[in-house]
Structure 1
Amino acid sequence: MADDDGVVDEGTETAALREALAAEHAAVWGYGSVGAALPAEGRPPAVAAENAHRDVRDRLAALLDGRDADPVPAEGGYTLPFPVLSATDAAALAVVLEEGVAAAWVRVLDQAARAAVRELAVGVLAAAEVRAVGWRTAAGETPPTTAFPGLPAG
């Protein structure tokens, strides 16, 4: 964002991008658990989502590297918010992953100093919500959509 003097603060933008990268790492890892709990015929959406998050993760890492900002490394493992013992649990976990990514990208959008970063944030945020709608439907959640993806409810 620009300050009162019109100076762009890339530091806050970079910090938000690092947070988004951490969320993307968690999503990539989490989709392994999602896919493992789905029957073989139900795995293509999980594989597609994992690949989408890998692509965004790699793009973010390159962007941060280009700024000489150390990309956030992936953790060795992540704690799941609940046991994933069924296809419904897997879909619910995918919703949590997409909502976590969406929240991180809303922060990027809020802190973006450059138009290209805002465009990236809007695109990734929209894609996360599209995936979340499918997973909410599979998990039996209603409503399947959110009015403002990435923002806290209420």
Structure 2
Amino acid sequence: MTARALDAAQAALAAEHAAVYGYGVLGGRLADARATQAREAYAAHRSRRDVLARTVRDLGGSPVAAAAAYALPFAVPDAASALRLAAELEDRVADVYSDLVRATEGALRQDAAAALREAAVRAVRWRGGSVAFPGLAERPSAPVPPAST
């Protein structure tokens, strides 16, 4: 594999570290079924994180360590903001997995595509709706120039 694959795996690992942290923050602000979903997502991200650490080692790298804390994109004082944070975490994870899909091939690419799909599905559940292309930054539409005559 290339250095590009290693860099993408490291970025995915860093995103998984951040997701684990984020779910630790938001989990306490949810109740009932949503709290169960948060625990399941937390466990899924921990599992993906551990797999990615092995992947980075297999690619010849030293896995990036988790930070002691992460800056959240906004305050999370209640359940509504916790749901927004969960969707944001999944979007960010999907973004780095799309890069890993592009940078790899074979079994690693299949695993990255599965992780991308899982994150996209979780984001839909948290948000209550989907985006056109999970893992890709939304691009504003450019006006179509008029046809020349």
TM-score, normalization by structure 1: 0.86
Aligned to 2:13: 21
Q: Which has the larger radius of gyration?
A: 2
1:84 paired with 2:81, answer no
Q: In 1, distance between residues paired with 2:43 and 2:130?
A: 23
Matched residue type, 1:54? R
Matched residue of 1:20: which SS?
Answer: helix
Alpha-carbon offset, residue 39 of structure 1: 2.4
Q: In the aligned structure 1, how far is the partner of 2:101 from the partner of 2:7? A: 12
Note the C-alpha offset of 1:29.
0.4
- 2:133 corresponds, among 131, 148, 154, to 148
Q: Give structure 1 regions of 4+ aligned residues with deviation exceeding 4 angstroms.
A: none
Q: Distance in 2 between matches of 1:134 and 1:87?
A: 14
For 2:114 and 2:93, how far apart are their aligned partners in 1? 12
Give matches, 1:42-121, under 5 Å: 42-112=34-104, 114-121=105-112
Query: How far, CA to CA, are the matches of 1:41 and 1:56 in structure 2?
Result: 22
After the TM superposition, which of the residue ranges 87-96 and 65-74 deviates more from structure 2? 65-74
Question: How many Å separate the matches in 2 of 1:13 and 1:50?
Answer: 25
The aligned length equals 139
1:122 matched to which residue of 2? 113
Give me the identity figure in percent: 40
- Paired amino acid for 1:133: V
User: Aligned AA for 1:64?
Assistant: V
| Residue-by-residue CA offset, 1:106-140 (whole Å, 9 max, x unaligned) | 1111111x311110111000000110001002xxx
Question: What whole-Å deviation, never above 9, does each CA across 1:88-109 have from its counterpart, x for those lacking one?
Answer: 1000000110000001001111
> Distance between the aligned counterparts of 1:118 and 1:93, measured in 2?
27
Q: Distance in 1 between matches of 2:76 and 2:137?
A: 24
> SS at 1:47's partner residue?
helix
Give, in whole Å, the separation in 1 of the partners of 2:122 and 2:33.
18
Shift of 1:41: 5.0
List gaps (5 residues or longer) in structure 2: 140-149
The alpha carbon displacement at 1:67 in A equals 2.9
SS at match of 2:42: helix
